[in-house]
């Protein structure tokens, strides 16, 4: 590893701490950089070379990219406090019929602020809904909406040792593990056992009796 910066792009809702902490413990000489992105342009920093690797929300245009899906998120609907959805544990897509949808091209924070001020609803991934939580809005899961999935991506033709190391950290590889299989140690050959020797019978001094001579 050299001392160049390793830069991570990420969409809202992704918590990087557990992975970046492991990186800093193992590779303190390689500083990390961060590029927050919106879903609409979440690949821009990666394709331009500004970022080495990116956490994105699927689906994406994956041509030329290596993609590792990581985890799924339940969609949530965010509404004004006092809305009838507040009394429900979960809603369905049918419940959203007739509701005014906030423009989802806004940033999540701006969309939630608009909901708080003017009403309407906005659908957000669970982590983003929690990130933008406010006292004047409530969020409820949409039970039959398709889940969204977070993935780790990088340029397929630019897989550096740093990228391989970071991917290993995200996948849970420990500092002591290795990507390459290590040869099994060869046990030392044991010397062949010595042939067993027969023990000599002890001489007791007793002799066999002689037969009498014939006359």
- Find the mean pLDDT for residues 31-36: 96
CA angle 166, 167, 168 (to 5 degrees): 90
* Mean pLDDT on 14-21: 95
* Residue 151 three-state SS: strand
Helix or strand (DSSP H, E) at 169 = helix 161-170
Gap between the Cα atoms of 42 and 52, Å rounded = 13
Percent residues over pLDDT 70 in the chain? 80
Do the domains 6-72+148-170 and 75-141 sit in the same CATH topology, yes or no?
yes
Q: Say if residue 78's pLDDT is above 90.
A: yes
Evaluate whether 53 touches 46 at the Cβ level (below 8 Å): yes
pLDDT of residue 99: 96
pLDDT for residue 176: 73
The domain locations on the chain are 6-72+148-170, 75-141
Q: What is the pTM of this model?
A: 0.76
In the predicted structure, residue 204 carries a pLDDT above the cut 60: no
CA–CA separation, 22 and 36 (whole Å): 20
Q: What was the pLDDT predicted at 212?
A: 54
Digit-coded pLDDT (tens) for 88-102:
999 999 999 999 999
* Placement of tokens 């340029």 in the chain: 155
What pLDDT, in 10s, does the model give residues 148-191?
999 999 999 999 999 999 999 999 988 776 443 333 444 444 55
CATH code for the domain defined by 75-141: 3.40.190.10
Domain 6-72+148-170, CATH? 3.40.190.10
């Amino acid at each position: 590893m050299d001392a160049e910066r390793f830069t991570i792009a990420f969409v809202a809702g992704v918590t990087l701490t557990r992975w970046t902490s492991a990186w800093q413990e193992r590779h303190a000489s390689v500083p990390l950089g961060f590029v927050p992105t919106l879903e609409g342009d979440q690949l821009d920093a990666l394709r331009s070379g500004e970022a080495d690797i990116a956490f994105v929300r699927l689906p994406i245009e994956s041509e030329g990219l290596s993609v590792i899906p990581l985890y799924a998120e339940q969609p949530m609907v965010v509404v004004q406090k006092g809305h009838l959805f507040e009394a429900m544990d979960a809603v369905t897509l049918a419940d959203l019929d007739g509701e005014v949808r906030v423009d989802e091209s806004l940033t999540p924070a701006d969309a939630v602020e608009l909901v708080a001020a003017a009403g309407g609803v906005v659908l957000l991934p669970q982590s983003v809904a929690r990130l933008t939580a406010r006292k004047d809005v409530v969020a409820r899961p949409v039970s039959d909406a398709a889940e969204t999935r977070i993935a780790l991506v990088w340029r397929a033709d630019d897989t550096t040792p740093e990228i391989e190391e970071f991917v290993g950290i995200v996948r849970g590889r420990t500092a002591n593990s290795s990507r390459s299989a290590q040869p099994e140690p060869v046990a030392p050959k044991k010397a062949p056992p010595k042939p067993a020797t027969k023990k000599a019978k002890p001489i007791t001094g007793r002799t066999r009796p002689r037969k009498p001579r014939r006359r």
